[in-house]
Amino acid sequence: MARKTIVAGNWKMNMTPSQAVELINTLKPLVATDAVDVVFCVPAIDIIPALEAAKGSNIQIGAENMYYEESGAYTGEISPAMLTDVGVKYVIIGHSERREYFAETDETVNKKVLKAFEHGITPIVCCGETLTQREQGVTIDFIRQQIKIAFLNVTEDQAKKAVIAYEPIWAIGTGKVATTEQAQEVCAAIRECIAELYGDDAAEVIRIQYGGSVSASSAAELFSQKDIDGGLVGGAALKPDFGKIVNYKDFKVVEY
């Protein structure tokens, strides 16, 4: 078996519904491949037009967030059933911007991860250290803590389906991409942490992405690392360059 590379775009708070349709129509031919799973995580209001526009293509539409309750008095939130009802299969959980600006914690991330699995949605679980943490040498400890709490009460079968995105905060939107060695080192540590929690089988199938200023020029080297199974891409996902990132050279197929 092999882990299939997964390249996901994170549109963040960009693109109106009409711009979303236009962008998908532009990117559709550029990302057409079966070698890689291609996911566009889009703002909630763009989900339905994006699904329409992506129909018949290999593009899967994901959400950027969801709430951990089923329904009720949670003004402004979007429920897992709302996502599955229209055919959403992926959701980004615990992006560092949500942690920083919207007070998400490891505990709320865990609740959302559990709820996503309950509804059959694949969570793209984000983790990543600050520059201070990296400079203080506590990166691995910190990431292990984020992962262990995010996966609390997640079963082995569920964990095998999860996607983890390692995104050093200092590399997001800064143009400062982590070196290949830095990215590989942390992704390997994440895989090791999953092995400790669930055993080697789960560690071998779980997909781990790198995110943070991924570009057409850095994607090939990053995605060819042993423990990096694709990327979560912000800025470059809004441009034709995304096609080059999806079609990075020498698609990686890790045999095990």
Active-site annotation, residues? 95, 167
Should residue 94 be labelled a site residue for ligand PGA when binding is judged by CB under 6 A?
no
CA distance linking residue 110 with residue 125, whole number of Å = 9
Instruction: Map residues 156-175 to x or -, x wherever contact with ligand PGA holds by CB under 6 A.
Output: -----------x----xx--
Nearer to ligand PGA, 7 or 193 (CB): 7
Minimum CB–partner distance for residue 141 and ligand PGA (Å): 22
**Contact call for residue 214 and ligand PGA (CB under 6 A):** yes
Buried b or exposed e, range 20-36, using 16+ CB within 10 angstroms? bbebbeebbebbeeeeb
Q: How far is the CB of 232 from ligand PGA (least distance, A)?
A: 4
- Three-point CA angle 10, 42, 111, nearest 5°: 80
Helix, strand, coil percentages (3-state) for the chain, rounded to 5, are 45, 15, 35
* Pick 42 or 172: Cβ nearer ligand PGA: 172
Applying CB under 6 A, among 94, 123, 168, 211 the residue interacting with ligand PGA is 211
- Of residues 42, 232, 245, 246, which one binds ligand PGA by CB under 6 A? 232
Contact call for residue 9 and ligand PGA (CB under 6 A): no
Q: Quick check: 60 and 254 in contact, CB under 8 A?
A: no
Instruction: Return the structure tokens found at 39.
Output: 């996911």
Q: Of the two residues 198 and 223, which places its CB atom closer to ligand PGA in the complex?
A: 223
Q: Tell me if 234 contacts ligand PGA by CB under 6 A.
A: yes
Q: How many CB atoms lie within 10 A of CB 240?
A: 13
CA 254 to chain centre: 19
Residues that bind ligand PGA (CB under 6 A): 10, 167, 172-173, 211-214, 232-236
